[in-house]
Homo-oligomer: A and B are copies of this chain.
Amino acid sequence: MKMAELSAETGVAVATVKYYIREGLLPPGERTSVNQAQYGEAHVKRIRLIRALTEIAELPISEVRRVVEALDEGRSAPEALGAAQDALTSRYREGRGEERGDRLLAELVTRRGWQIMAESPTRTMAAEALAAVDEAGLLGIKEHLDDYAAAAENVARTDLETIEEFQEREDLVYGAAIGTVLRRPLLDALIMLAQQHETIRRGFAG
């Protein structure tokens, strides 16, 4: 298809498509004449990924580039998932985590028997979140940490199942990256709706 058709198909303005190409997020089309090029299904898919990453995950272009690079370098699905995790937790990249949070997390990881990376922004994020919970005196959350971890295991298992179902390699990598990003606000919203239900069910008058 031509640039105008690609724009119509994806609902993204021509100027924006050109910007994506200039930024190296989208491969250029196959040139058919001096000022015309052809675009294919891969371009449509890539644009949908970029839109999801910028609009839904609200990632800056620099982080979108990291995810896209993982795709272009043909890395494996777990690596693509890792790149998506990394982009989503970029603000923790420079953090060191807090000692108290680190200790609480290490205890939890041992209890659950989790095999995880020794260092990652995700780990820093978890340690900081635990330290904040501890500092706020939210004993309830600390006491129910294993309940939250068990729920997290169920979500992660389901995430991996949704990824495994992709048949083609390209779809699989796409699913790993975009699935992580799109599932997050979905689960957040479902939890809050379930809170509404649970509050009403319990007749919880506070």
The residues of A with any CB-CB pair to B shorter than 8 Å are: 48-49, 52, 56, 76-82, 85, 88-89, 109, 112, 114-117, 120, 122-123, 125-126, 128-130, 132-133, 135-136, 138-141, 143-144, 147-166, 169, 172-173, 175-176, 178-180, 182-202, 204-206
Of all chain B residues, the one with the shortest Cβ separation from A158 is B147
Given known contacts A138-B178, A140-B179, A144-B161, what 5 new A-B pairs fall within 8 Å (CB)? A79-B206, A116-B200, A152-B193, A159-B198, A164-B204
Asked if B139 contacts A165 (CB within 8 A), the reply is: yes
Asked if B138 contacts A162 (CB within 8 A), the reply is: yes
Shortest distance from the beta carbon of A146 to any chain B beta carbon, whole Å: 10
How far apart are the CA atoms of A142 and B183 in the complex, in Å? 10
Asked if A193 contacts B48 (CB within 8 A), the reply is: no
Shortest distance from the beta carbon of A115 to any chain B beta carbon, whole Å: 5
Asked if B140 contacts A163 (CB within 8 A), the reply is: yes
Of A129, A187, A192, most buried by chain B (CB within 10 Å of CB) is A192
**Among B78, B158, B201, which residue has its beta carbon within 8 angstroms of that of A144?**
B158
By Cβ-Cβ distance, the 10 closest A-B pairs, closest first, are A140-B162, A77-B206, A76-B206, A156-B194, A126-B189, A152-B190, A129-B186, A114-B197, A125-B189, A156-B195
How far apart are the CA atoms of A82 and B197 in the complex, in Å? 12
Known: A140-B179, A189-B129. A115 touches B197 (CB 8 A): yes
Known: A78-B199, A148-B190, A179-B141. A48 touches B136 (CB 8 A): yes
